[in-house]
Chains A and B, each alone.
Chain A
Amino acid sequence: MKHQDVIIIGGGLIGACCADVLTGKGLETTLIERRFPASGSSRACDGLILLWDKNPGPEMALGQASVGLWENLVPQLDGDVEFRQSGTVLVAEDEGSLERSRQIVADIAAQGITATLLERRELQEIEPALAVDLAGGAIFPQDYQIDPRRATFSILRKAQRQGLQLLNGEEVIELRRHPGRSGGWEAATQKHVYAADYIVCAAGVWTTKLLHMLAIELPIRPRKGQILVIKAPRDLIRHPLLEGGYGDAVHAGTDDLQVALVAEMTPAGTMLVGSSRQFAGFDTDVSRDVLQALARRATRFIPELARAQWIRSYAGLRPWSPDHLPLIGPVAGFEGLYVATGHEGAGICLAPVTGELIGEWIAEEISPSLADAISPGRFRDYHPEP
């Protein structure tokens, strides 16, 4: 194949959004995916596009930009990606948790996002299936849901129409500088060697393995999440539900298992129940203790679920980064090499803005205003644990 402008490694939602923007700007782009689209974390996740959980500052700026981009992007896609503004409800188990919700509502409202505190009775009216002893909660009507897999496929289709070369079933096993051109790169798979001016590593949690080949160490760690799939009456819950302690679980500074309820309905009539967070290597097996912990949380908040049929389970890996901000941008000292990962539990939400930023760098050669906050180089002194 002829020398390309860009090679993207990884066909998850992040790689797909990068491909959409780059091909949209007229660059000759090839995406190499070792299995098939959304075969990594972008299929083993939830589909919540949340703003209330974003910290003020760069994270919130990224989130708000991305939601706007989602709203623009979806109408341009073929096929129903199940994008819907269902809003989310935060559920407070006790008075302490309700107090936290009050704080979140105040903080979020200050960012210009609609948020309403719910008293016990109001919560019951909005979500009648919830346990009666809950203290209250909050509602964020602007949040969205989407089907991340369908979105990945549809966005890749769009990019293909714009000229993307999509290569499935090829794994990049070596990355090296182009021997002939200065600044160019070669990506070798088992089958072929591909050449381009730019490389975008969007290989999710596996990005570390790719860059390790170039002796670049990134502090990304796979943070595993397990999910129960339950057959539930379609209107059992009317909004995606998250328990008050969800934010604490996300930001927990320890390596211990964190469990906090996240429940969402899919249009297919199944409920996805999470969330768990643990550092357990790259393995995506489910484990009974964690599934049980999820089941207990689920029935604690939605007692009726005890009699619902549990039909499946799965596990995915969140690309965790130490400061809860993604790593997007050029790798210092490696001209033409870009990284786009580290979104932890927010990669679905932040995918379009990630593509946009990569596009600004590569196609327009400008450095976005948030560049420093999300620069992969900010962890220069990071040393991987043995």
Chain B
Amino acid sequence: MRRVDLAIVGAGPAGVAAAVTAARRGLRVALIDEAPTPGGQVLTNPGTSRPHDARGQAIERGQTLLAELGRLPVELYRETIAWALEGTCLALSGPESPSEIEAAALIIATGGREYVPPFPGWTLPGVMTLGGAQRLIDKHGVLPGRSILIAGAGPLMWALAASVLENDGEVLAILDASRPADWARALPLIGTLQDRLRLAWRYFKVMRGSRTPYLFARGVLQARGDGYLEAVLAGERTYTADSLCVGFGFRPNIELLQLAGCGFVFERWLGGWIPAIDEHMRTDQPAIYAAGECSGVGGAAKALLEGELAALAAGTGLGVRLEAHDEDRLEWLKRRRQREIRFARVLNHACRPPRAYTDDLVDETILCRCESVRYGQVEQALQHGATSLDGLKNELRVGQGMCQGRTCGPVLQQVLAQKAGQTREQILPFHVRPPVKPVELGKLQEAG
């Protein structure tokens, strides 16, 4: 079996920062990601697509680390899924990976996934997430449609609008479901948000320059079309659109941490259920750390700080002696992280979907895409007394398809909370068993 000092799952900003930090200090590091190239959701490989300096300091710093990663002796396993773990031993499936890696310490940096609350027509082709649309443009140089409507909440909308416009695309309108007052909560943090303000300002200049309508709108969307998106109803208005890009922030990918047996806490404004961790990113399981979005949704800057922090803490645990400047750095990282977390709470609060999305659900709306389960069925199950995600799964098969509840889990959690008269804290995520992501059966056979 392959042995390393530190194994890291996820090569986004958190995983890359962790790998570079640990490798610089001489640790033997394995970095695992299911994507063909490292970088996670925002970092791009050098040489591809757009200049990344346009994305702010955090992403710029991430790019620098990604470049350094290539020069360090880190074992990088591409297109490799970490599908299970026992203690700090990972089960892997990838073209060049061993089937198992035994690590002295483990950092889980599996990131987050975008959240879209269900609305009528949301499964029509032509409706996609903000991040999905952004990736189309960044990685493939393709616009998501000819007439694009952007809806949801948060900075991803602005970045996407700017990208579409800069690539000579048409944005029909931006429908912002946040309230201006939500953002006022960020005022006390303004001192540390200079670069992000500059970035937002840049996006807004692009939007204003094109005279794209920017509307604050908290109503539920309705997508219509015969086999493909043709129109979007938003309040009184109807837009003839062939692309609806929508997103309401992120939810953490906690499945591996669940398998690890970690304790969780409910933090609504950090994405819901997140692992209980200490200030050094340590979970309650020996030698297992969590960093980045999977430990609480908060953006790339937070992910970078946490990756570094986790690697320094894991290194110390493995006997790496910290220099004086490392000690200072550790303290600085911890302080900065607290500020990022404060900002994250503001951001996630602003990105919450309006209540109407769950209050006004209609029977036909699909909630679980894999198993085509509609709201009407869920409501019936609730009337029959279902009170938990696992109860719903039992009755309706929700969460049993290819995505394993990644998409419908957060959706159903919200529906249960609002309709079954429970608090969000009472609703536990789906129970998780291996594999956390689909794996070729042949790979299971080889393992061990």
| Chain B residues numbered 356-379 whose CB sits less than 8 Å from any CB in chain A | 371
- Shortest CB-to-CB span from B227 to chain A, Å, is 22
**How many A-B Cβ pairs are below 8 Å?**
94
- List, in ascending order, chain B residues with CB within 8 A of A38's CB: 394
Known contacts A36-B385, A314-B433; is A299 also within 8 Å of B442 by CB?
yes
A43–B394 CB distance below 8 A: yes
Stretch at the interface among A60-68, A302-310, A364-372: A302-310
Which residue of chain B lies nearest to A42 when distances are taken between CB atoms in the complex?
B394
A306–B442 CB distance below 8 A: yes
Stretch at the interface among A127-135, A136-144, A284-292: A284-292
Q: What are 12 A-B interface contacts by the 8 Å CB criterion?
A: A39-B394, A43-B394, A149-B395, A168-B387, A231-B402, A288-B84, A295-B444, A307-B442, A309-B438, A310-B438, A310-B439, A311-B404
- List, in ascending order, chain A residues with CB within 8 A of B384's CB: 153
A292–B434 CB distance below 8 A: no
CA gap between A311 and B438 in the complex, in Å: 4
CA gap between A43 and B401 in the complex, in Å: 16
B209 proximal to A (CB < 8 A): no
Which residues of B line the A interface, CB within 8 A? 84, 86, 91, 371, 384-388, 390-391, 394-395, 397, 400-402, 404, 433-435, 438-442, 444-445, 447-448
* Contact among A295, A307, A309 with B402 in the assembled complex (CB-CB below 8 Å): A309
A268 proximal to B (CB < 8 A): yes
Given contacts A268-B371, A292-B448, A314-B433, 15 further A-B contacts (CB under 8 A): A35-B391, A36-B386, A36-B387, A36-B391, A166-B385, A169-B385, A228-B444, A268-B397, A291-B434, A295-B445, A296-B445, A306-B442, A306-B445, A309-B441, A312-B433
- List, in ascending order, chain B residues with CB within 8 A of A36's CB: 385-388, 391, 394-395
- List, in ascending order, chain B residues with CB within 8 A of A306's CB: 440-442, 445
CA gap between A168 and B390 in the complex, in Å: 14
Which residue of chain A lies nearest to B100 when distances are taken between CB atoms in the complex?
A288
Task: Classify the secondary structure of A's interface with B.
Answer: mixed
A37 proximal to B (CB < 8 A): yes
* Contact among B386, B400, B440 with A307 in the assembled complex (CB-CB below 8 Å): B440
Which residue of chain A lies nearest to B434 when distances are taken between CB atoms in the complex?
A313
Which residue of chain B lies nearest to A43 when distances are taken between CB atoms in the complex?
B394
A188 proximal to B (CB < 8 A): no
- Shortest CB-to-CB span from B34 to chain A, Å, is 14
B385–A312 CB distance below 8 A: no
Q: Which of A37, A153, A308, A312 has the most CB of B within 10 A?
A: A312
* Contact among A37, A292, A307, A314 with B444 in the assembled complex (CB-CB below 8 Å): A292
B391–A39 CB distance below 8 A: yes
- List, in ascending order, chain A residues with CB within 8 A of B401's CB: 311
* Contact among B385, B440, B444 with A291 in the assembled complex (CB-CB below 8 Å): B444
A298 proximal to B (CB < 8 A): yes
CA gap between A298 and B385 in the complex, in Å: 38
* Contact among A270, A285, A307, A315 with B441 in the assembled complex (CB-CB below 8 Å): A307
Contact string against B for A residues 27-67, beta-carbon threshold 8 Å, 1 for contact and 0 otherwise: 00000000111110001000000000000000000000000
* Contact among A168, A270, A289, A313 with B385 in the assembled complex (CB-CB below 8 Å): A168
- List, in ascending order, chain A residues with CB within 8 A of B394's CB: 36-39, 43, 149
CA gap between A166 and B391 in the complex, in Å: 15
A230 proximal to B (CB < 8 A): yes
B438–A231 CB distance below 8 A: yes
Which residue of chain B lies nearest to A153 when distances are taken between CB atoms in the complex?
B395
| Chain A residues numbered 239-290 whose CB sits less than 8 Å from any CB in chain B | 268, 270, 285-286, 288-289
- List, in ascending order, chain B residues with CB within 8 A of A308's CB: 440-441
- Shortest CB-to-CB span from B87 to chain A, Å, is 12
CA gap between A311 and B255 in the complex, in Å: 14
- List, in ascending order, chain B residues with CB within 8 A of A230's CB: 441
B435–A313 CB distance below 8 A: yes
Which residue of chain A lies nearest to B391 when distances are taken between CB atoms in the complex?
A36
- Shortest CB-to-CB span from B447 to chain A, Å, is 6
- Shortest CB-to-CB span from A236 to chain B, Å, is 12
* Contact among A149, A169, A309 with B440 in the assembled complex (CB-CB below 8 Å): A309
A295–B433 CB distance below 8 A: no
* Contact among B391, B402, B433 with A313 in the assembled complex (CB-CB below 8 Å): B433
Which residue of chain A lies nearest to B83 when distances are taken between CB atoms in the complex?
A310
Q: Which of B371, B388, B391, B448 has the most CB of A within 10 A?
A: B391
- List, in ascending order, chain A residues with CB within 8 A of B387's CB: 36, 168-169
CA gap between A38 and B445 in the complex, in Å: 31
- Shortest CB-to-CB span from B3 to chain A, Å, is 18
- List, in ascending order, chain B residues with CB within 8 A of A270's CB: 400
- Shortest CB-to-CB span from A32 to chain B, Å, is 13
Which residue of chain A lies nearest to B392 when distances are taken between CB atoms in the complex?
A36
CA gap between A153 and B397 in the complex, in Å: 13
B404–A299 CB distance below 8 A: no
B391–A292 CB distance below 8 A: no
Which residue of chain B lies nearest to A157 when distances are taken between CB atoms in the complex?
B384
CA gap between A289 and B391 in the complex, in Å: 29
A309–B439 CB distance below 8 A: yes
B435–A292 CB distance below 8 A: no
Q: Which 7 A-B pairs have the closest CB atoms?
A: A306-B442, A309-B438, A36-B391, A295-B445, A295-B444, A310-B441, A311-B438
CA gap between A298 and B400 in the complex, in Å: 21
- List, in ascending order, chain B residues with CB within 8 A of A285's CB: 433
CA gap between A14 and B438 in the complex, in Å: 33
CA gap between A153 and B394 in the complex, in Å: 10
- Shortest CB-to-CB span from B442 to chain A, Å, is 4
- List, in ascending order, chain A residues with CB within 8 A of B391's CB: 35-36, 39
- Shortest CB-to-CB span from A187 to chain B, Å, is 19
CA gap between A314 and B86 in the complex, in Å: 17
* Contact among B388, B404, B442, B444 with A312 in the assembled complex (CB-CB below 8 Å): B404
B441–A298 CB distance below 8 A: yes
Which residue of chain B lies nearest to A33 when distances are taken between CB atoms in the complex?
B385
- List, in ascending order, chain A residues with CB within 8 A of B445's CB: 292, 295-296, 299, 306
- List, in ascending order, chain A residues with CB within 8 A of B447's CB: 288, 292
Q: Which of B84, B91, B442 has the most CB of A within 10 A?
A: B442
CA gap between A308 and B384 in the complex, in Å: 36
- Shortest CB-to-CB span from B89 to chain A, Å, is 10
Which residue of chain A lies nearest to B386 when distances are taken between CB atoms in the complex?
A36
CA gap between A299 and B387 in the complex, in Å: 39
